[in-house]
Amino acid sequence: MRVTRALVAVLLGLALLPSVTATPAIDEDEFAKLKAQAGVDGGTDEGLAYLKSITPALETAIKDAFWRCSTALANDKTPAFEFIAQIGKEGAVQAVVIQPDDAFTACYSRAFGTTKLAAPPSDPFHVYVGMKAED
Model pLDDT for residues 86-127, shown as the tens digit of each residue: 999 999 999 999 999 888 889 999 999 999 999 999 999 999
What is the rounded distance in angstroms from the CA atom of residue 43 to the CA atom of residue 120?
13
What is the rounded distance in angstroms from the CA atom of residue 96 to the CA atom of residue 19?
11
CA dihedral of 39, 44, 47, 53, whole degrees rounded to 10: 110
Average pLDDT score, the chain: 81
- DSSP character for 35? H
What is the rounded distance in angstroms from the CA atom of residue 92 to the CA atom of residue 124?
10
pTM: 0.77
Contact between 128 and 38 under an 8 Å Cβ cutoff? The reply is yes
Question: For residue 77, what pLDDT band results from cuts at 50, 70 and 90?
Answer: low
DSSP H helices in the chain: 2-15, 28-42, 45-72, 103-112
Backbone angles phi, psi at 131, to 5 degrees: -115, 125
